[in-house]
């Protein structure tokens, strides 16, 4: 299992798999061929179906050396064998292909090719939650101790940077108003939610704060702002919202939140190593389901939970998002993504509280849910896996009338 740094990537939205990943691949290929006459990029499957709404072409053209000599080809009718988010980069001289590279954007900004170009090697010897929990119980240690054992103390410096960026994104989103880019003309809500939350009393105030923080990050992401994948851009509002709530409502110090992020990263890493965090592969259950598990586990730890209670919180957060589809309207990471982040943040907090009332013992394990999520994802029709061909994506398009379902502005 690799470093939790791969769960927390700092970059620009709106999609880790459809903008961060392709941008990274394009930059790599362009640097490999400086001064090349022409580059052709063919996008397949989900990348082609929702890439215009996600801004995949824009992300690629921003990083290549000569965007004017770069051709983008869309192949929504073909899905490559390894993953729905497949790309083929070709370098051409006088219309002759001199190099070709097939690469996949597998979620969270990560890339995979057959040569292992981006394989940073494994750090963790144990890859399942059961193995990690056994180590913690045998050694009398915490999940954070397990992370520190294999990542070193320097991981907390990196997580400090992650936490700083999360806060900046929340605070930027809370004061930014206007309309999000794209054909949906969706108005930002975080600012007004925050104002109303501050004026509220009783339980409405903390709940409103949580909603506002999640909306703030998700709207920043949808607008192409700077975010942290946790574990993806589309699910980037959940963990920051819960952590921001912990600091500003629960008055938790930064060091406890950073340790919570270590646990959350480990939880996300286990899902990524044994399952998938890609909406194009398993639906939104792999993105927001994982984010819910991460945030629930982190909250349970920050509130003083035992390893068993933390695992239970993460399991519940994940289990109760099984079957969640990924059906972005017009391919934008806006509907239903933004509101869904807010509701999942609330669910994560409740899962943590529920687990803390228990002794941590329960029937269904976290590993069971990861396995079930993958089985459910394989059974899920492709139209519900980030293609905008089914679900809300088609229902809403009918209502939009004149707006094209092909993501065209």
pLDDT tens-place string over residues 262-301:
999 999 999 999 999 999 999 999 999 999 999 999 999 9
Cβ proximity of 213 and 244 under 8 Å: yes
* CA neighbor of 288 nearest in space, from 342, 235, 229: 235
Residues of the chain with CATH 3.30.1330.90: 4-112
Alpha carbon distance 119, 112 (integer Å): 8
Q: How confident is the model over 41-68, as a mean pLDDT?
A: 95
Residue 403 has pLDDT above 80, yes or no: no
Secondary structure E strands in 151-299: 226-228
Residue 14 has pLDDT above 50, yes or no: yes
Instruction: List Cβ neighbours of 342 (8 Å cut-off, separation of 6 or more).
Output: 210, 211, 214, 215, 218, 237, 241
pLDDT of residue 401: 65
Q: How confident is the model over 75-81, as a mean pLDDT?
A: 94
Residue 406 has pLDDT above 50, yes or no: no
Report pLDDT digits (tens) over 176-209: 999 999 999 999 999 999 999 999 999 999 999 9
pLDDT of residue 89: 98
Q: How confident is the model over 70-86, as a mean pLDDT?
A: 95
Residues of the chain with CATH 1.10.4100: 129-400
Residue 404 has pLDDT above 90, yes or no: no
Residue 236: in which H helix or E strand, if any? none
φ/ψ of 238, rounded to 5, equals: -75, -60
pLDDT of residue 119: 82
- Give 188's DSSP letter: P
* 4-112: CATH superfamily: D-3-phosphoglycerate dehydrogenase; domain 3 (3.30.1330.90)
Residue 254 has pLDDT above 60, yes or no: yes
Report pLDDT digits (tens) over 15-31: 999 999 999 999 999 99
Report pLDDT digits (tens) over 160-170: 999 999 999 99
* CA neighbor of 7 nearest in space, from 261, 231, 159: 231
Residue 405 has pLDDT above 70, yes or no: no
Q: How confident is the model over 88-96, as a mean pLDDT?
A: 97
pLDDT band at 402 (very low <50, low <70, confident <90, very high): very low
* Of 112-116, 152-156, 341-345, the least confident: 112-116
Cβ proximity of 128 and 24 under 8 Å: no
Share of residues in the chain with pLDDT > 70 (%): 98
Alpha carbon distance 385, 54 (integer Å): 14
The predicted model scores a pTM of: 0.94
> Which conformational region is residue 95 in: left (phi greater than 0), alpha (psi within -120 to 50 degrees), or beta?
left
pLDDT of residue 407: 47
Residue 408 has pLDDT above 90, yes or no: no
Residue 380 has pLDDT above 50, yes or no: yes
**Helix/strand/coil percent split, the chain, to 5:** 55, 10, 35
Alpha carbon distance 308, 313 (integer Å): 9
Residue 9 has pLDDT above 70, yes or no: yes
| Whether CATH 1.10.357 fits 129-400 | no
* Of 114-128, 233-247, 261-275, the least confident: 114-128
Cβ proximity of 194 and 253 under 8 Å: no
Alpha carbon distance 270, 289 (integer Å): 13
* Of 85-89, 99-103, 116-120, 353-357, the least confident: 116-120
Q: What is the mean pLDDT of the chain?
A: 95
Sign of the C-alpha dihedral, residues 24, 27, 29, 31? negative
pLDDT of residue 395: 86
């Amino acid at each position: 299992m690799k470093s939790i740094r791969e769960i927390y990537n700092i970059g620009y939205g709106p999609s880790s798999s459809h903008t961060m990943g392709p941008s990274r691949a394009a930059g790599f290929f362009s640097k490999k061929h400086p001064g090349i006459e022409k580059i052709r990029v063919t996008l397949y499957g989900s990348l082609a179906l929702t890439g215009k709404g996600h801004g995949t072409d824009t992300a690629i053209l921003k990083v290549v050396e000569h965007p004017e000599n770069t051709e983008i080809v869309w192949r929504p009718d073909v899905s490559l064998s390894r993953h729905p988010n497949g790309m083929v980069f070709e370098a051409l001289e006088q219309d002759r292909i001199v190099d070709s590279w097939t690469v996949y954007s597998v979620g969270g900004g990560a890339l995979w090719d057959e040569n292992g170009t981006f394989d940073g090697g494994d750090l963790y010897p144990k890859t399942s939650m059961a193995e990690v929990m056994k180590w913690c119980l045998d050694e009398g240690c915490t999940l954070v101790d397990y992370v520190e054992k294999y990542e070193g103390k320097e991981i907390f410096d990196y997580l400090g940077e992650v936490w700083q960026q999360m806060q900046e994104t929340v605070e930027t989103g809370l004061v930014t108003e206007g309309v999000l880019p794209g054909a949906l003309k969706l108005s930002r809500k975080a600012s007004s939610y925050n104002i109303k939350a501050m004026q509220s009393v009783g339980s409405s105030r903390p709940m409103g704060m949580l909603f506002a923080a999640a909306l703030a990050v998700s709207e920043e992401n949808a607008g192409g702002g700077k975010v942290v994948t946790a574990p993806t851009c589309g699910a980037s509002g959940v963990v920051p919202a819960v952590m921001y709530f912990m600091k500003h409502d629960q008055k938790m110090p930064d060091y406890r939140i950073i340790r919570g992020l270590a646990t959350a990263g480990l939880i996300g890493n286990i899902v990524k190593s044994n399952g998938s965090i890609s909406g194009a592969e398993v639906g939104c259950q792999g993105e927001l389901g994982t984010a819910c598990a991460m945030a629930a586990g982190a909250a349970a730890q920050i509130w003083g939970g035992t390893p068993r209670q933390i695992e239970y919180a993460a399991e519940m957060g994940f289990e109760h998002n099984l079957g969640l589809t990924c059906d972005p309207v017009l391919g934008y990471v806006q509907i239903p993504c933004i509101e869904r982040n807010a509701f999942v943040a609330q669910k994560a907090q409740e899962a943590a509280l529920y687990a803390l009332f228990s002794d941590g013992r329960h029937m269904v394990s976290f590993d069971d849910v990861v396995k079930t999520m993958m089985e459910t994802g394989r059974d899920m029709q492709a139209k519900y896996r980030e293609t905008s061909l089914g679900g809300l994506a088609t229902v809403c398009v009918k209502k939009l009338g004149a707006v094209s379902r092909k993501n065209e502005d």
